[in-house]
Amino acid sequence: MRLSDINIIDRDYELRKDGEFDALGAVTRPFEKNEQGLVYLEDRNYMDSFFKNQNVSAVVCTNEIADVIRDKFNGGLLITSEPRNLFFEVHNYLASKTEFYHTFKKETPRIAETAKIHQTAVIGDHNIHIGENTEIMAGAVIKPNTYIGDRVIIREGCIVGTPSFYYSMSGGRREQVVAAGSVLIKNNVDLHPGVSVELGVFGKSTIVDEYAKVGPLAALEHDSYLGKLSILCAHAVLTGFTYVGEGSFIGAGAIVVPQVRIGNRCKLSAGAMVTRDVPDDTHVAGNYAVEHNKFIAHLKESLTE
C-alpha cells in the first residue's frame, strides 16, 4: 500500500512525499521484523522514539514536525493539522474500504467435536476456531475473529472478540476505531465469569497465552498480551497495547495503562495503578504504583505523621 492509494473525502491533508507501508502502529511500539510501518507524530516528546523505530516507512505529521524530520527521514509524509485523527481515519478507511487487513475474508467456524458448548452460548457465524475439549458455558458470547485453543474454559457471561473501546475525533465527533484484528486464546486458559476480551486493532491479536487464568469481570483491551501461567485477578484491567510476561500476578482491581510492559514473574498488588514498565521479578503497589517495599515504607511514614 502507498500513501497515494489513500482517498479520504472531505479531509484536509497534503501528500508531501509518497511512501509504501504494510502495517500501522504506534511510534513507541516495535513493528514485526520486515514490516514497513505507518505511524503518526504530533508531539516532539516522541521524536526520539520515532527515529529509533527502524521500521517506520511513512508518517502522518504536522507541517512543523515535517520540517524538523525531513533531513533525517527518507520515508513518506502525509501532512495535516491533526495527525492522530487523520491516522485513525486512514486506518478505518483501510479496514472498511480495502483488503489491507483482510477483513472481508470470512470462513465457516471450526468447532472440534469434543468441544462442549452450552445451548445459551452465542457463537459467531464466521472466523471462529474452538479447539478440542474446550468448554463454552452458559451465556458466553464468542464473536468473529476469535481463535480458541484446546482444553480452554470460557465461563458464564464472558464476551470474547468484542470490538475495541478505542475512539478518535472525526468531523467534531468521536468515531470508534475499527477493530481489524483478532483474539487468540491459547491452550489450557480459564476465563472466569464476565471476562471481556477485545479484538486487536491494527490486524494483530489480543492474546491470552497458555495456562493463564483470568478472574471474574476482568478485562483485556485491544492488543494486550497476558503471558503464559500468569494470573489476572477479578476486576483487573489490561488496557490497550499492554504486555504481561510469563508467570506474573495481577491483583484484583489493578490497572495497567496503555503500552506499559510488565516483566516475567512480577506481582502487582490489588488496586495498583501501573503507569510505567515493571522489570522482571518486581513487586509493585499503590496508585501510582511503586516498588512494594518503598510503598510500605511511605505508608508507615504517613501514618506516623
Q: Is 142 exposed, middle or buried (0-12, 13-18, 19+ CB in 10 A)?
A: buried
Residue with cell 491452550: 187
**Nearest alpha-carbon partner for 268 in 303, 237, 229, 228:** 237
206 and 164 both lie in a single domain: yes
The pLDDT score that the predictor gives to residue 105 is 82
Average pLDDT over residues 17-34: 92
The pLDDT score that the predictor gives to residue 294 is 72
The whole domain housing 126 covers 110-295
The pLDDT score that the predictor gives to residue 52 is 92
Q: If pLDDT is split at 50, 70 and 90, which confidence band does 262 have? A: very high
175 and 282 both lie in a single domain: yes
List, for residues 67-120, the tens digit of each pLDDT value.
Answer: 999 889 999 999 999 999 999 999 999 999 899 998 778 999 999 999 999 999
Q: If pLDDT is split at 50, 70 and 90, which confidence band does 293 have? A: confident
| pLDDT of 29 higher than 90 | no
Query: Is 304 domain-assigned?
Result: no
Average pLDDT over residues 16-44: 93
42 and 173 both lie in a single domain: no
List, for residues 170-197, the tens digit of each pLDDT value.
Answer: 778 888 999 999 999 999 999 999 999 9
The pLDDT score that the predictor gives to residue 172 is 80
Given strand 237-238, what is the order of strands in its sheet? 122-123, 141-142, 159-162, 196-198, 219-220, 237-238, 255-256, 273-274
Alpha-helical regions (H) of the chain:
47-52, 63-69, 83-97, 292-304
145 and 260 both lie in a single domain: yes
| pLDDT of 8 higher than 90 | no
148 and 213 both lie in a single domain: yes
Highest-confidence range of 22-31, 191-200, 282-291, by mean pLDDT? 191-200
Query: CA 29 to CA 213: how far, in whole Å?
Result: 26
Domain count, the chain: 2
Q: List the CATH number of the domain containing 287.
A: 2.160.10.10
Average pLDDT over residues 37-44: 94
93 and 115 both lie in a single domain: no
The pLDDT score that the predictor gives to residue 121 is 98
The pLDDT score that the predictor gives to residue 7 is 84
The pLDDT score that the predictor gives to residue 151 is 98
List, for residues 47-57, the tens digit of each pLDDT value.
Answer: 999 999 999 99
Looking at residue 15, its amino acid is L
The pLDDT score that the predictor gives to residue 70 is 86
The pLDDT score that the predictor gives to residue 268 is 97
Query: CA 289 to CA 255: how far, in whole Å?
Result: 10
Query: Is 105 domain-assigned?
Result: no
**Nearest alpha-carbon partner for 196 in 163, 244, 147:** 163
DSSP 181: S
84 and 139 both lie in a single domain: no
147 and 272 both lie in a single domain: yes
Which residues in 56-181 belong to E strands, given as ranges? 56-61, 76-79, 110-111, 116-117, 122-123, 128-130, 135-136, 141-142, 146-148, 153-154, 159-162, 167-170, 173-176
Torsion of CA 39, 40, 45, 49, to 10 degrees: 10
189 and 69 both lie in a single domain: no
Of 68, 97, 126, which one is at a domain's C-terminal end?
Answer: 97
Q: List the CATH number of the domain containing 19.
A: 3.40.1390.10
The pLDDT score that the predictor gives to residue 113 is 97
Of 97, 123, 150, which one is at a domain's C-terminal end?
Answer: 97
List, for residues 124-159, the tens digit of each pLDDT value.
Answer: 999 999 999 999 999 999 999 999 999 999 999 999
List, for residues 195-246, the tens digit of each pLDDT value.
Answer: 999 999 999 999 999 999 999 999 999 999 999 999 999 999 999 999 999 9
| pLDDT of 9 higher than 80 | no
